[in-house]
């Protein structure tokens, strides 16, 4: 069986490692065919991904009509009781207890605390209470307001608790991406420690810096730009590329090459970032029929011990086709942060199972 290892030197000490293994595919007519599986090591996390090359190049045409029908059905079914719609969100969502303002808003975006937070500061941004659903290609206006509003919100949070050193803006769009609500909304999280995936990226960047005196993410970006095959565009201070070793289908990164954190972006930078992010979402959605996505914006504030090794990173990836009556239990937190959110309490369900088992 053939195994080949490819190592290509990038900028600085970045190395792109790919192992190609010859495997066998079982076809539906019972015959066998050789195929190649690529194992690619992500330079930012050190994690490997696997790509079956045959499968990746197999034409995949989602049934757009079927998807639209499914989405329309879910819109119709959920609209009358949606807690984020204008007629209900004032009664059905909580108010901030730690800020002077009870809610924050900008344009059509409203920020409220999450009813069941996973962290001290975990808020929900409703992207326009006036519209129950927006297709992925119609989010620009609300994403721009979302980003600008988050900057204002993070500023207030830091004033309330200077121990918050990491800021994350995240979105689960539709149920395959882990959203239980059709109404577009984002989840805004700050934290004292980085999430698992962000922590891996930061610690790896720290080791790289100690060894080379350079920034891993920027060397990696320069590597992608010089290779060119996965580089999409550079605009202002942002570079967009598809990563060498994606963790999710149709993954793209947006990196701030000016070593910024989210809080030091100007409004002009935010406008460019929102435009780029929305253009990626629209392009993948329209070109490949992908309607469901996650994105996370990762930022280490200057107070973080890792801030000197870090720069703003946005990761966006796309999920399976939406079908009615289905919510994935893997959302941005599991997929893009490696943190598992569970809705069952171990001591409680163990007690219950213990009781059932001992009684019965």
Distance in Å, CB of 146 to Zn ion, minimum: 16
Give the x/- contact pattern for Zn ion in 82-111, rule: CB under 5 A: x-xx--------------------------
Q: Which is nearer to Zn ion, 25 or 75 (CB)?
A: 75
Report 34-93 residues binding Zn ion (CB under 5 A).
82, 84-85
Cα separation of 254 and 205, whole Å? 17
Q: How far is the CB of 106 from Zn ion (least distance, A)?
A: 19
Nearer to Zn ion, 84 or 220 (CB): 84
Q: For Zn ion, which residue of 132, 198, 253, 315 counts as binding (CB under 5 A)?
A: 132
- By the 8 A CB rule, do 233 and 252 touch? no
User: Rounded to the nearest whole angstrom, what is the least distance from the CB of residue 107 to Zn ion in the complex?
Assistant: 17
From 94-102, 125-133, 207-215, 270-278, give the range in contact with Zn ion by CB under 5 A: 125-133
Q: Cβ closer to Zn ion: 85 or 148?
A: 85
Least distance to Zn ion, CB of residue 87, Å: 9
Residue number, nearest CB to Zn ion: 82
Task: Report how far apart, in Å, the C-alpha atoms of 42 and of each of 171, 204, 295, 297 are.
Answer: 23, 11, 18, 18
179-218 residues near Zn ion, rule: CB under 5 A: 183
- Could you tell me the strand order of the sheet in which 122-127 lies? 104-106, 109-113, 122-127, 185-191, 166-173, 293-300, 313-318, 252-256, 238-241, 231-235
DSSP string for residues in 258-306: T---GGG--HHHHHHHHHHHHHHHHHHHHHH----EEEEEEEE-TTSTT
* CB atoms closer than 10 angstroms to residue 360: 5
Closer to Zn ion by Cβ: residue 183 or 253: 183
| Chain residues that interact with Zn ion, rule: CB under 5 A | 82, 84-85, 132, 183
């Amino acid at each position: 069986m053939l195994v080949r290892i490819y190592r290509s030197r990038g900028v600085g000490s970045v190395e792109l490692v790919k192992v190609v293994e010859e495997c066998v595919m079982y076809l539906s007519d019972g015959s066998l065919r050789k195929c190649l599986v690529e194992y690619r090591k992500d330079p930012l996390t050190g994690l490997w991904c696997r790509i079956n090359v045959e499968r990746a190049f197999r034409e995949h045409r989602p049934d757009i009509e079927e998807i639209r029908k499914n989405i329309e059905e879910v819109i119709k079914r959920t609209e009358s009781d949606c807690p984020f719609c204008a007629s209900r969100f004032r009664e059905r969502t909580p108010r901030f207890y730690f800020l002077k303002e009870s809610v924050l808003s900008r344009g059509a975006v409203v920020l409220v605390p999450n009813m069941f937070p996973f962290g001290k500061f975990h808020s929900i941004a409703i992207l326009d209470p006036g519209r129950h659903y927006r297709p992925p290609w119609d989010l620009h206006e609300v994403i721009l307001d979302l980003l600008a509003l988050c900057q204002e919100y993070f500023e207030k949070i830091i004033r309330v608790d200077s121990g918050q050193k990491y800021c994350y803006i995240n979105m689960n769009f539709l149920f395959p991406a882990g959203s239980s609500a059709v109404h577009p909304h984002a989840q805004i999280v700050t934290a004292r420690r980085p999430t698992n995936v962000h922590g891996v990226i930061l610690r790896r960047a720290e080791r790289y810096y100690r060894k080379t005196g350079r920034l891993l993410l920027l060397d990696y970006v320069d590597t992608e730009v010089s290779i060119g095959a996965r580089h999409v565009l550079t605009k202002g201070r942002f570079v967009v590329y598809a990563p060498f070793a994606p963790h999710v289908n149709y993954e793209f990164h947006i990196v701030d090459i000016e070593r910024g954190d989210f809080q030091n972006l100007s409004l002009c930078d935010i406008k460019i970032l929102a435009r780029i992010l929305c253009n990626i979402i629209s392009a993948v959605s329209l070109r490949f029929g992908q309607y469901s996505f996650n994105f996370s914006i990762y930022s280490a504030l200057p107070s973080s011990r890792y801030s000197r090794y870090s720069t703003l990173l946005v990761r966006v990836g796309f999920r399976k086709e939406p079908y009615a009556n289905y919510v994935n239990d893997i959302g941005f937190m599991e997929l893009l942060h490696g943190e598992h959110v569970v809705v069952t309490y171990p001591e409680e369900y163990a007690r219950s199972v213990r009781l059932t088992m001992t009684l019965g």
